[in-house]
Each structure stands twice: as C-alpha cells, then as structure tokens.
C-alpha cells in the first residue's frame, strides 16, 4: 500500500482518515485538486479586477464591518489582519491528533475548488502536516457559527510566520521553524484569510476523533457486557434473534447477534438457571446498546457529509460566474448531532455502571464486593463509586450545547450553533465512558473467576487469558487505580473480532 494520500483525489471516509492518522501517511495535493484550486483563484482575480460591486470579505470588511470598502492595495493586509485579530482561542492546548485532523480536513475542503485560495497556501498546510509542525491551538473560543474562527485563526497564524508551534517536542515561534525549513511565510491574497478561518474543521476534527473511538468502544461494550452477563449467571433468552426481529431496530438486531456470537460454546450461559429473568441492565442490553449503535451510525452519516463539504464563505462558483455569501459555515448540523451522540454514549456508561452495581451486591452466589474475605477487604466497593461519579459527570456533559445561542459581531451574527462546545464536551463523555467500561471489565473478570471451574465461551476465555496476563485476580485489597489504568491500556490495545 502507498504511504501517500492524495488530497482532493476523492471523498474522505473514516477508513481513509484512520489510515492517514494511524499509519502516518504523507499528504500530497492531487493533480486534479491543483487544477481546481488554480482555476478558482484565477477566476477570483479576474472578478475583483472587473467588478464594480463590493464583494463581501474580499473587498470589504468582515461581519458587521461588511459596509467598509477596502482598497485594492490593502486586500492582502486585510486577510493577514483577519487571522491575527481572530486568533483568540484560549484554554487547554488541543491534542496533536486533533491538530493534524484539522489540517487534513481544511486542506481537503480547500481542494474542492470553491474557496479562492492559492495552491501554495494549501501546499503549506500539507507541509506542516507532513513534517509534524503543529500549530498551538486552544480548545475554547469558537461559537461554531462563522465557522470555528478563533481556533482556525490560531491554527493558521504560522502560515504567515506568526504564532507558536510544537515541533520535535518543543514549543517554538513559528517563524524560527519556517526559517529552519527554508519556507517563506505565505503572502495571503484576497479572500484567503476568510477561506482559512471560515469553516467547521475544529468541530469536525473533534467529531471525527470521537467517532472513530465510538466505533471501537461500542463494540467493546458488547464484549464487556457479555462477560458481565456470564459473571452474573444471566440468561441468553433476551438476546435470541426472534425477539429482536419483532422490534427490528438495526442496532438492536446487531447487539443481539453480537452477544450470541460472543457466548457461543459457553458452559456458563448453557447451564440451568434458578431465576426466570434478569435486571434491565442485563436484559435490555440489545435495546440500550442497540440504540447507541443507531445513534453512532446517524452521526457518522452527518459528519461524513460535513467533512466532504465546502464550509467557508463567500463561496465561489467559477463555472457559473457567481460569488455567493451564504451560511455553510454554520455548525448546526454538527452541534445537534454531537449533543445526540453524547447522550447515546453516556447511556452506554450509565447501563455499564448498573451492571457493576449488580455484580458487587453479593447476589447469585457471588461474594459481596467480589472479594473472598469482605470486611477485612473492601474489594470492588470503590471502583463502583468512581464509575458512578463519571456517570453523573457525563449527565452534566449531556446538556445540549446546541440549544444555546449568543448574539455576536454587533448583531450581524445573531444566531450561533455552539457546535464547538458540543464537540469538546463530546470527547469528555468518551474519556469517561472508556474508564467506566474498564471498571466493568475488572468486575466482570473477577466475577467469572468466582464461577470457576465453569468456563465461558472459547472466544471470551481467550480474551480473559490475555487480560489476566496484565491485570490479576484480586485476592486481597490492592491499589485499585493502577489496575483501572492498566485495564484502559489493555482495552486500547486488544483486538478481538466477532
């Protein structure tokens, strides 16, 4: 397989993005993308030279300053000033993978040929990406309406030789790194600052990162739930296909199938049960996990459309001889979807914590708190506290950011999406979910060890064997947080196909 991805050669997919990030692919502009970009730039230059009417953001100021006309010799300075003045992101530094995703997504959007940028501008973005020159961007400051103005301004300051970057583990002034590579700061032409700053790439990059993780965690949630079902001596009946087919939500059907596959050949699930039904946290796994799968699928479809779209403004249509000022930068589709996804993922954590609670209650032959000598040992008492704390925190993060709006730009931008806030709190939900599921895995594995010598399915036995090489059975009290962290690391590395 090639170690190069040609930006603009086709639509981005989650599979392509995952390869680019995980396999450290290099980016090059495709030949067709260069032609589209140059065609749009040439058209814009001709249009500016011949137009007697003001062109928003090109020959005028921005936002509520759209009535201020800018002279031809100041058009480049206008764009440079835009980036400097808008670089107002604050808070915590964004993790490097998000920075790289932002650059990839912006380069792809510009390659579609409706933004009026120079080829060199897009090429420099790829140069930064390929050499791990990562602009320093912070996680707060975007309203998610005129695009992600503040974080994107911080992202692209280094293109013009301003701002700071992380390079080879050091925070450095951008201009010194440009000099090291022999790169001249990009001399922006008309429209280019707007093209770089308008757009939803901060929201989108956070969403892509969260969604790639959501795909994995949703699958592992089924596996961990199957282990908990075995530890709790649960019944297989609620997972039979016939009951899913008479309420045929796709995610529910998939979840039932997954659990049956995971438990195939299990001694524990096949043995007679003294109880006729299980609590909802076990019995309703297909319905709850399934609804989350359907939510993930929907949000993925919205995000896939977004990352293959042109989201800056104004938008240029050379073939139609039109420059249109519209609202493609407004993040409402993402904001609503991210709020929806946060709720769906939080529910995976919610039901997971309830299974943890059932396992430590001393029910169905299991010792209280899953330890052989309770009293002297607290066992798994407090991991449930930690899980409950994160479940509660996730409920706070499920406040709908998209239901909020604050007027900005002196009333010109009078409705905003708050999609950036929806995006940043989404991966906080994700981080909590990962920890909650890890705590459930610890409890489930401990519970199954108390069922020995009976065995679960061959597939799950292999998984448990791998897990026990890193996280041991708890006989007497140990320092638990270290085992939680080891479990998180194990979950991130483990790959079991079913």
From 5, 43, 56, 167, the catalytic residue: 56
Write the DSSP assignment of 411-430 as a string of letters: GTB-----HHHHHHHHHHHH
Please state the φ and ψ torsions of residue 117, each to the nearest 5 degrees: -90, 170
Tokens, residue 192: 């280019």
**Residue 453, preceding peptide bond in cis (omega within 30° of 0):** yes
| 246-to-166, 250, 252, 307, 470 alpha-carbon distances in Å | 55, 12, 11, 36, 42
Measured CA to CA, the distance from residue 293 to residue 220 in angstroms comes to 12
Is residue 56 flagged as an active site residue? yes
* Region label for 189, one of left (φ > 0), alpha (ψ between -120 and 50) or beta (otherwise): beta
**Sign of the CA dihedral running 462, 383, 351, 214:** negative
Measured CA to CA, the distance from residue 386 to residue 326 in angstroms comes to 47
DSSP SS3 for 371: coil
By DSSP bridging, strand 134-135 and strand 26-29 are unpaired
Annotate 127-156 with b (16+ C-beta within 10 A) or e (fewer): bbbeeebbbbbbbebbbbbbbbbbbbbbbb
**Sign of the CA dihedral running 137, 109, 326, 418:** negative
Tokens, residue 31: 């030949």
Residue 251, number of CB atoms within 10 A of its CB: 22
- The neighbouring-strand residues paired with 324 are 315
Catalytic residue set: 56
């Amino acid at each position: 397989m090639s170690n190069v991805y040609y930006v603009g050669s086709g639509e981005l997919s989650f599979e392509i993005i995952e390869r680019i990030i995980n396999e450290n692919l290099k980016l090059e502009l495709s030949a067709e993308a260069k032609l589209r970009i140059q065609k749009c730039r040439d058209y814009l230059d001709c249009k500016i030279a011949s137009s007697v009417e003001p062109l928003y953001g090109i020959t005028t100021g921005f936002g509520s300053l759209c009535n201020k006309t800018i002279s031809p010799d100041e058009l480049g300075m206008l764009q440079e000033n835009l980036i400097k003045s808008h670089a107002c992101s604050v808070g915590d530094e964004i993790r490097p993978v998000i920075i790289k995703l932002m650059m990839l997504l912006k380069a792809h959007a510009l390659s579609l040929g409706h933004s009026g940028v120079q080829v060199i501008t897009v090429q420099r973005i790829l140069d930064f990406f390929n050499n791990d020159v990562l602009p320093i961007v912070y996680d707060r400051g975007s309203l998610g309406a005129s695009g992600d103005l503040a974080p994107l301004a911080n992202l692209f300051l280094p293109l013009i030789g301003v701002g700071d970057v992380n390079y080879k583990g050091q925070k450095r002034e951008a201009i010194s790194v440009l000099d090291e590579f022999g790169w001249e700061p990009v001399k922006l032409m008309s429209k280019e600052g707007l093209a770089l700053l308008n757009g939803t790439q901060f929201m989108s990059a956070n969403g892509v990162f969260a969604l790639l993780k959501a795909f994995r965690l949703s699958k592992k949630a089924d596996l961990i739930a199957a282990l908990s079902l075995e530890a709790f001596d649960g019944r297989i009946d609620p997972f039979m296909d016939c009951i899913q087919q008479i309420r045929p939500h796709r995610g529910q059907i998939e979840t039932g199938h997954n659990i049956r596959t995971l438990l195939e050949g299990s001694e524990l699930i096949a043995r007679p049960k003294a109880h006729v039904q299980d609590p909802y946290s076990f019995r309703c796994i297909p319905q709850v996990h399934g609804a989350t799968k359907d939510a993930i699928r929907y949000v993925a479809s919205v995000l896939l459309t977004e990352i293959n779209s042109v989201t800056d403004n104004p938008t240029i249509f050379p073939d139609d001889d039109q420059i249109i000022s519209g609202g493609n930068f407004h993040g409402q589709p993402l904001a609503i979807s991210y709020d929806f996804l946060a709720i769906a993922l939080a529910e995976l954590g919610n039901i997971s914590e309830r299974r943890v609670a059932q396992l430590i209650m001393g029910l169905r032959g299991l010792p209280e708190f899953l330890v052989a000598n309770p009293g002297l040992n607290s066992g798994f008492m407090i991991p449930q506290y930690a899980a409950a704390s994160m479940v509660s925190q996730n409920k706070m993060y499920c406040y709908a950011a998209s239901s909020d709006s604050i007027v900005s730009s002196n009333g010109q931008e009078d409705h905003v999406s708050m999609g950036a806030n929806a995006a940043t709190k989404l991966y906080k939900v994700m981080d909590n979910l990962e920890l909650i599921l890890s705590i459930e895995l610890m409890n489930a594995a401990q519970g199954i060890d108390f069922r020995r010598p009976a065995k679960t399915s061959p597939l799950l036995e292999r998984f448990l064997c791998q897990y026990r090489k890193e996280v041991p059975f708890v006989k007497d009290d140990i320092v638990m947080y270290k085992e939680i962290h080891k479990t998180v690391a194990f979950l991130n590395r483990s790959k079991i196909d079913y």
